[in-house]
Amino acid sequence: MAEKGTALRAAGRRILRRGTRAARVVERRKRVLGYLAILGPGMITANAGNDAGGIATFASVGAEHGYRLLWILIPITISLGLVQEMCARMGAVTGKGLADLIRERFGVRWTALVMLALLIANSGVTVSEFVGIAAATELFGIPRFISVPIAAITIWWLIVKGSYKRVERVFLLMTLGFLGYVASAFLARPEWGTVAVEMVRPRFSLESAYLFTLVAIVGTSISPYMQVYIQSSVVEKGITPEDYRRTRIDVWVGTVFAILIVFFIVVSTAATLHKYGIEIKTAADAARALRPLAGNYAEALFGIGLFGASMLAAGVLPLATAYSISEALGFEKGVSRSFREAPTFIGIFTFLVAVGAAIAVIPNLPLIKVLLVTQVINGLLLPVILFAILRLINDRELMGAHVNGALYNIGAWLTTIIVTSLSTLLVLVTLFPKLIRN
């Protein structure tokens, strides 16, 4: 009997241990699923900023300057996070998109001007995203006449025929393509000690190339369409002030992840292209140049990253434009709406995707000229958007207890003033290059 009792107790302890382990596994799964549930507008918007043009800019930063500009990624992380968080908070508190609020608070004329500038700029950048898709697939031997139409149809079908939840999940999956840049950075075998030092050692220079690159980094990292998209997507997702805490986490996690990707792009090109004095103009140039220096895998991973980035931005940019114009004109909007329910919204989105894809397959496209025009328009538009955001977020009648605190306002105003100054400088440099380069 004693032996039987001992055996029963031992069996009981084993069952208890198994139950405890099972409970821990379930708890871990709940935490992982809870974390994944947080991800959404913030992660998508911040990473959409790392589009084809952005990747080309960051790759050229590493190629031309090595690790010297890594330090700027820390203040950019803070600035981008602040701007994104304010727009997400406005969406949760007011239940309205940014264009909606601008129309209500600043009048129809200002709204029409801002929306026209946004439409022109986003049309040009959308073309560049499809060019990025073409360049990425051509690295793998797929001609643009095949890849671009397939990509355009896929994006259009996803948005027009899908629900918001499905679109969000697919966009989040697209962000996984950015991990290719992480792997390519390690394959490039950088000097990690030097990388660590340059991250925390600010360098300032009045050299024309250094100043121009500094301005380009800021202009590429914070774009007007990003603020429009994050606020509209928060509204469409149905986020309220009560459950906004998770969205705030999503915004900052997305921001940090996006800037980490920028970090790895700069590191991979600094360790290879800068080391051997190789100059590049596009992201595809960077991928091809990596092949003899870091191996076939580095080129392929860089190409995968470019494809994922371009696909994500090719979906987000037309969506942001459709959201903003529909809001400004007071029309129905939303990914979950049918064409019958929201014809203007779906029509604008379809038009931008179709035109962007059609132009992208034109041989010998003068893309640089298109990007220069859109760069100037975005540079002029960004200060207007940022000052509007600050006026709106500090309006107690609109935001109630959710206005910025004193310290938050200091950071937000500093960000706005610095970004506005650099955006203005970018416009001047683009229009009058001799101002800096001589």
In a domain? residue 217: yes
In a domain? residue 31: no
In a domain? residue 222: yes
Q: Name the nearest CA neighbour of 319 among 31, 45, 34, 8.
A: 45
Q: What is the pLDDT of residue 369?
A: 59
* H-state helical runs in 238-335: 244-269, 283-294, 296-329
Q: What is the pLDDT of residue 436?
A: 53
In a domain? residue 238: yes
Q: What is the pLDDT of residue 171?
A: 83
Domain span at 386: 44-437
In a domain? residue 170: yes
Residues 188-230 have pLDDT tens digits of 788 889 999 989 888 877 666 676 777 778 777 888 888 888 9
Per-residue tens of pLDDT for the chain, all 438 residues: 555 556 656 656 666 666 666 555 555 555 544 545 556 788 888 888 777 778 888 888 888 888 988 999 999 999 899 999 999 999 999 999 888 898 888 888 888 888 888 888 788 888 888 988 888 888 888 888 999 999 999 999 988 887 778 888 888 888 877 788 888 788 878 888 999 998 988 887 766 667 677 777 877 788 888 888 899 889 888 888 888 888 899 999 999 999 998 999 899 888 887 877 777 766 677 777 666 555 666 777 778 888 888 888 888 889 888 988 888 888 888 887 878 888 889 999 999 999 999 988 887 766 555 665 666 677 677 888 888 899 999 999 999 999 988 988 998 899 888 878 877 776 676 667 665 555
Q: What is the pLDDT of residue 283?
A: 64
Q: What is the pLDDT of residue 255?
A: 92
What does the alpha-carbon distance between residue 51 and residue 72 come to, in Å, rounded to a whole number?
Answer: 19
Which amino acid, one-letter code, is at 370?
V
How many other CB atoms are found less than 10 A from the CB of residue 438? 6
In a domain? residue 19: no
Q: What is the pLDDT of residue 157?
A: 92
Q: Domain containing 308 — which CATH number?
A: 1.20.1740.10
Contact (CB, 8 A) for 144 and 360: yes
Torsion (CA) 186, 188, 190, 195 in degrees, nearest 10:
-70
Structure tokens at 262: 């920028």
In a domain? residue 235: yes
Q: What is the pLDDT of residue 293?
A: 55
In a domain? residue 169: yes
What does the alpha-carbon distance between residue 23 and residue 20 come to, in Å, rounded to a whole number?
Answer: 5
3-state secondary structure of 10: helix
What does the alpha-carbon distance between residue 344 and residue 327 come to, in Å, rounded to a whole number?
Answer: 10
Specify the number of domains making up the chain.
1
How many other CB atoms are found less than 10 A from the CB of residue 296? 11
Q: What is the pLDDT of residue 7?
A: 60
Q: What are the E-state strand segments in 325-435?
A: none
Q: What is the pLDDT of residue 18?
A: 63
For 141, list phi and psi in degrees, rounded to 5.
Answer: 85, 15
The model carries a pTM of: 0.83
What does the alpha-carbon distance between residue 274 and residue 192 come to, in Å, rounded to a whole number?
Answer: 15
| Residues found in the chain | 438
What does the alpha-carbon distance between residue 113 and residue 369 come to, in Å, rounded to a whole number?
Answer: 23
